[in-house]
Structure 1
C-alpha cells in the first residue's frame, strides 16, 4: 500500500526516511521468503513511467507504473523475486521526451561503466559494534587524528581495486599502528567516473560497487568500530552531476535543481546546483544522510565545498544563499537528534561567521570547520628557504588570532597533493635530508597547534610523488631507512598527541595556549605552551639549520622540564642533538617570565617538554 501521509512529508521537506517510501522494495511473506518486488518513483512531470529490466529484456511496454498520488508518485509491483536484477525507470515526459534513469533511491548499482540500479536487500546485516556506539562521547575534549583515505588507491591488487572486505583488516591494523583515531573515506556512494574521486555522485543511497557490496562496506565499518576507530564519509551536498541517467532533470524538468540557470549551472565543476528551497530536495538529502547513519553506522560527515552553499556559486558578491544556509541549520539539528556526538565538519574557505556555532546561537550547526587558512599559511611558510623565513614569520603566528572563532580541524588533505602541487615532502625546502627535517617540524607544529587533525594517506611516510588515484601508494618507500624513520617519528608524535591531554583537551579554549616566544623572527624560533587541567607542555620549533648549544628560554613555572620528543634524534634520521636529562629551571627574567631553562636547540628541529614540579 502506498503511504500518502509519508508522500506529503516528502513533498514538504520534512522527510528523513524517504528511502522507505521510494525506490525498490523486496516484499516477504511470513516465512521471510521474497514473493514480489515493488518500485516507487516520484516524477511529477512524467506522462508515463515504465520499468525496464533484465527480466523484460529492457522493454517496459507491459510494465507500466500506476499513478498512486496526484502530485506525481508512480508505483508498480512485480510478482517475482528480483533481488540482484538490474533495472531502470523509463520516463516519458509530458513533452514526449524518453529518459532512462537509474533509481535515485537505489541501494546498489551495477559496476561502472554500466549505470543501472540493482535490486538489493539492504536489511539483515548483524552488527557487533554496540559497545563502540554506547561509549561515544563529545569530541571537543578528545584527541581527533583523522586519516583521509581514497579507497581505490590506498591498496590495490593486480587488475583493479581491492574490495572492502579484503582491504578491511589490513587498513584497520595500519591505522591503529599509526595512531589515527578516525578514518575519513573520500566519497564512496555510487559515481560513474573514477577520475571524479566520488565527488560527482549519482547514487546517494548506494555504496559504490567498485569495492564490493553494501554489506561488505558495513562489515568494514563494523570492524573499525570494534577496533575503536570512527568512520567519517565525505559528502557533496550542494551539487550533482549532469549524467543523463542520474538525478539531474530527472523527469525532464529541473526537479531537484534550480530553475534559474544562473543559480543552477556550476560551470567550474560541470555540475548543477541543488535548490534547497524545494521540499523534495531537502527530503532527498536529509534522508540520504540519515540513511548512512542508520544502515552504515557512520560517525560523521565532511561536507564538501560549503562555500558554494553559503554563497551562490561560492562567490560572496552573489550574496548569501539563504535557501541552502537555512537548510544546513535544519539538517544539522536533525542529525544531532539522531547522534548528538556526530562529527559534522565543513570544508569551507570563507570568513562567514558562526559556521560551527549551534543553530540556537545563530550558527549554521556544524561542529567543525576545516582551517584552510592554517593549511595555506603553514605550507607557504615551509616552501621558503630558511634564510628567508624571517620575512614570513607571521604566517605561523597569525592563525592564533582567529583559532578560537570556530571549532577547527587542521587539514593536510588530498587537495594539497594533486594537480601539480606535489606531496607534502616535495613542498619542503632544502636538500633531500633537509626536506625530511622540515617535514618532521611541520608535522610537530601541526600536531601541537590547537585544533583537531586530518592527514591524507601517504604523507605519514613522506610519499615523494604527488597522489595518483590510478595506482596505490608508494609503499615501497618504507623499505628505505629515511622514510621508515620518518614514519617512526610520525607514529611517536601521534602517540604523544593522543596520550597528553594538553595537546587536545582545550583545543577550543583560549586558556589552553600561551606564547612563550612569538616574535623572534631573526632566529625563526617559536615557542609556546599547551595546557590541560592536569598538564603543561612546552613546545619549541627551530625553523633554520642554525644550532644553539646553550639557548635560554623563559618558562612560566619553577621546576623541571623533561624532553619527551625531539625530532633530531638519530632514530628519526636526525643528528642526535637532543636534551637528555630533565632541565631544571633557573630564576631570572627571560621572555617576560620569572624563570628560564637552558637547552640545546638543533637546527630544523622540534622539541616537546613536559613540566614537572620540583619535589
Structure 2
C-alpha cells in the first residue's frame, strides 16, 4: 500500500454525546489473523433498539451511530469506530496514527449477530486519516473507506478522515419560514449547477474553487438573477471527476474537492441568509466498483444485490443497491435524512428513479427476472421510495423531494396514502423532449408540429411537474441550448428567449442548467469554467437580462405559481392558428384580477393588429415582451395599454388587437 500523508494534529472535538456502556463484545478468533481476545471491552453508541431498527430497515439516524466519532470515555479523548461487516472474521482500523498496521487496532464484533464491529481507540481525533482492514471468512483481504465518514482525502487519495459535523448554524430565519418558500403554491425557479465547472479563476483555470469562493460569487449572482433555489449536482464524495458526481463512494460526506463539511454548511447558510433554497442531487440508484468503496465491502456482496440481473447496471458499469436488504434500506433512509438534518438542505432531487422502479430497465429479454407477481416492477425499490418520502415529510415537512423519472409510472408525486410514491415533484421529461424537438425545427415547418407544444397540457396535472432544461440536454453532442436553435444569430437568440418564455409561463416549477441563462454557445464541459466572457457581447447580455426578467415576472405575478399543479391555473385561448404558428393562453391565480394573457409567435414574422379573444373587458398592459431591445430583441412591443373591444373572438365576447413580435412572447395583464 502506498504511503499516506503524515498525521495531522487532532483538533478539539465538538461536544460529545453521553454514551452508555453495554455488554462486552465477543472476540472473533482466527488461527491466521491477530486475535481480539485481549482487546478491552468499550462502550457502544448502539442500543438494542438501534440494532432492532437497523436490522428492520427502519433506522433513520445511523450517521449518529456508525462511522468515526470523537468522544470522551473514562476521561480520555479518542475516537469510537463502528462498521457493518457481517461476513468478516477480522476487522481493524489502519491509519497514519498506527503506521497502517493491520494488527494493532482491531475492532470487536458485537455479541448480537448484527455484524457490527466497533471499538474506542484513545488519543486520536479529528484530522486523522484511516481505513478499515477487513478479512472475510474465505481469507480475502480488503481495505475500505468508511461508508459513514463525513470527510475523505482529496482524490485521487482514498482514505477517510475523522471529522465531525458540528456547526453553529446562523440561518434560523430561513429555516423557520422556509415552508412558504418550498410550498407547491410558491414560485420555484431552480438554477442547476456543477460546482467544479460553474466558475473558475481565469488566472488559475485548472483549479476548482472552494466552497467559500463559490459562495462569494454565487450568492449575489443568484440574488440578482432572481432564482428561488439552487440545485447542486452531487456534492457527495466521488472519486472520478468525469462522473460529474454521480458515482459516489462517500454518501455521508460533502466532497473534499471543495473543502470541509463545515465549509459546505457555510455555503448553504449563506444561500439561506440570501433567501435562496438549496436542493441536492441524491443518487440511491447505483455506486461505483472502486476498491475503497461500497462494492464487496466485507468481501461479500454487502451493499449491492448479489444477482447481477438486479445488482449490476449495464449502462453505467456500476452496482445497484440491494433494496430488499433491511440494513441497506437503513443506510439509504438515514442518508436521505442526513442531508436534510445535518446540512439543512431544502430538498433532494433523486437521480435515475426509473432505473430503480423497473427490473428490466436497460436490459434485454433474458437479462432480468420478474417480480413475485410476474411483473417488471422492482417492488423493493418502490416500497423503499415510499418509506423514504414518508420519513422525509414526517421529519422535514417544509422540504421537497423531486423525482427524475422518465416513464408513465403512476402517482410518482402523489401521497403514499393514496397509492403514490410520495415525491413532492416529478421532472416533466415529456415536456422537455417535445419542446426541444419543436424549437429545433425551422420556423417554416413548425405549423405542422403545433401538437408538440399543446400536448403537454393533456397530462400536465396528473403529477406535480417540474419543467427541466438540465445538464443532460447540453452534453454528448446535443449542443448547447442556443446551439440547438435554427436560423442566424439573431434568430437563434430570439428562439431561445421564446423557449424560456414558454417555459416560465407554462404550468409547473422550473429548472435551468447553468450557462443556459446567458446563452452559453459551447456544450458543457465538466473540467472547465462556463464562458463568462460571453456576457461582454450584446446577444448574451440580452439573454441574461431576459431570464432575469422572467424570474422576476414569475415571482411577482401570483397567477404564474399559485395554481401551478391544477388545471384551473391554465386556460387555452387559441391553438388553432397553425398557419401563423401563434398560440395564446391564460394563467390564472386565486384572484381573477391577477390573470395573465400569454401570446407566443413561433415564426420570425411580426404580426400587427393581431386579434385575440380575452377573458374580460378592460385595458391590457404589457408586463413582459421577449422582443424588447433590452434583451437584444427587435423592439416590436405594445408600449401603450391595449383596450378590449366588444368583438367576439376565440369564443370570447371581448377581444384585443396587438402587435405580436417575431419569434417573441408577449405577456399582458388587465389593469
The CA deviation at 1:34 is 7.0
The CA deviation at 1:520 is 1.5
- Matched residues in 2 for 1:337 and 1:492: separation? 36
- Matched residues in 2 for 1:206 and 1:34: separation? 27
Equivalent residue in structure 1 for 2:200, among 139, 149, 156: 156
- Matched residues in 2 for 1:96 and 1:4: separation? 31
Q: Does 1:134 align with 2:192?
A: no
After the TM superposition, which of the residue ranges 162-171 and 189-198 deviates more from structure 2?
Answer: 162-171
The residue aligned with 2:520 is: 463
Equivalent residue in structure 2 for 1:391, among 448, 454, 457: 448
Query: Which blocks of at least 5 consecutive residues in structure 2 are unaligned?
Result: 1-42, 371-375
The CA deviation at 1:481 is 1.5
The residue aligned with 2:483 is: 426
The CA deviation at 1:108 is 0.4
Superposed counterparts of 1:184-195, under 5 Å: 184-195=231-242
The CA deviation at 1:418 is 0.7
Q: Deviations over 1:100-123 (max 9, x none)?
A: 100001110000001100011222
Equivalent residue in structure 1 for 2:285, among 226, 229, 238: 238
The residue aligned with 2:136 is: 93
Equivalent residue in structure 2 for 1:54, among 92, 96, 108: 96
Equivalent residue in structure 2 for 1:564, among 612, 617, 623: 623
The residue aligned with 2:647 is: 588
The CA deviation at 1:28 is 2.7
Q: Does 1:498 align with 2:550?
A: no
SS in 1 for 2:549: helix
- Matched residues in 2 for 1:313 and 1:190: separation? 29
The residue aligned with 1:274 is: 321
Superposed counterparts of 1:159-170, under 5 Å: 159-170=206-217
| 8 Å CA contact 1:517, 1:528 repeated in 2 | yes
Distance 1:282 1:306, change over 3 A: same
The CA deviation at 1:160 is 1.1
Equivalent residue in structure 1 for 2:116, among 73, 84, 94: 73
- Matched residues in 2 for 1:533 and 1:78: separation? 62
| 8 Å CA contact 2:97, 2:124 repeated in 1 | no
Q: Does 1:607 align with 2:666?
A: yes
After the TM superposition, which of the residue ranges 562-571 and 320-329 deviates more from structure 2?
Answer: 562-571
- Matched residues in 2 for 1:483 and 1:4: separation? 59
Equivalent residue in structure 2 for 1:104, among 137, 140, 147: 147
Equivalent residue in structure 1 for 2:269, among 216, 219, 222: 222
| 8 Å CA contact 2:287, 2:294 repeated in 1 | yes
| 8 Å CA contact 2:336, 2:388 repeated in 1 | no
| 8 Å CA contact 1:34, 1:81 repeated in 2 | no
| 8 Å CA contact 1:526, 1:542 repeated in 2 | yes
The residue aligned with 2:459 is: 402
Equivalent residue in structure 2 for 1:183, among 230, 234, 241: 230
Superposed counterparts of 1:263-342, under 5 Å: 263-314=310-361, 319-342=376-399
The CA deviation at 1:352 is 0.5
Q: Deviations over 1:538-565 (max 9, x none)?
A: 0000000112221111112111111111
Q: Deviations over 1:240-295 (max 9, x none)?
A: 11111111111111112212121111011011111111111110011111111111
Q: Does 1:365 align with 2:422?
A: yes
Equivalent residue in structure 2 for 1:11, among 34, 46, 55: 55
Q: How many residues align?
A: 609
- Matched residues in 2 for 1:208 and 1:315: separation? 30
The CA deviation at 1:315 is 5.4
The CA deviation at 1:602 is 2.1
Query: Which blocks of at least 5 consecutive residues in structure 1 are unaligned?
Result: none
- Matched residues in 1 for 2:639 and 2:200: separation? 43
Q: Deviations over 1:307-355 (max 9, x none)?
A: 0121115259860000000111011000111111211000000100000
Equivalent residue in structure 2 for 1:542, among 598, 601, 604: 601
The residue aligned with 2:16 is: none
The residue aligned with 1:208 is: 255
- Matched residues in 2 for 1:186 and 1:320: separation? 27
The CA deviation at 1:4 is 4.2
| 8 Å CA contact 2:239, 2:249 repeated in 1 | yes
| 8 Å CA contact 1:35, 1:81 repeated in 2 | yes
| 8 Å CA contact 2:51, 2:114 repeated in 1 | no
Equivalent residue in structure 2 for 1:484, among 535, 538, 541: 541
| 8 Å CA contact 2:600, 2:664 repeated in 1 | yes
| 8 Å CA contact 2:480, 2:523 repeated in 1 | yes
- Matched residues in 2 for 1:167 and 1:240: separation? 27
| 8 Å CA contact 2:189, 2:229 repeated in 1 | yes
Q: Deviations over 1:132-157 (max 9, x none)?
A: 11112252110000000100011123
After the TM superposition, which of the residue ranges 593-602 and 396-405 deviates more from structure 2?
Answer: 593-602
| 8 Å CA contact 2:315, 2:362 repeated in 1 | no
| 8 Å CA contact 1:221, 1:298 repeated in 2 | yes
The residue aligned with 1:121 is: 164
The residue aligned with 2:85 is: 43
- Matched residues in 2 for 1:419 and 1:134: separation? 42
- Matched residues in 1 for 2:132 and 2:222: separation? 42
The CA deviation at 1:50 is 1.4
The residue aligned with 1:446 is: 503
The residue aligned with 1:172 is: 219
| 8 Å CA contact 1:26, 1:34 repeated in 2 | no
| 8 Å CA contact 1:266, 1:313 repeated in 2 | no
Equivalent residue in structure 2 for 1:345, among 399, 402, 420: 402
- Matched residues in 2 for 1:135 and 1:34: separation? 42
User: What is the TM-score when the length of structure 1 is the normalising length?
Assistant: 0.97
User: What is the TM-score when the length of structure 2 is the normalising length?
Assistant: 0.89
- Matched residues in 1 for 2:397 and 2:225: separation? 28
Equivalent residue in structure 1 for 2:65, among 14, 18, 21: 21
- Matched residues in 1 for 2:57 and 2:211: separation? 34
| 8 Å CA contact 2:314, 2:362 repeated in 1 | no
- Matched residues in 1 for 2:185 and 2:339: separation? 26
C-alpha root-mean-square deviation of aligned residues, in Å? Answer: 1.3
After the TM superposition, which of the residue ranges 370-379 and 81-90 deviates more from structure 2?
Answer: 81-90
SS in 2 for 1:204: strand
- Matched residues in 1 for 2:551 and 2:212: separation? 27
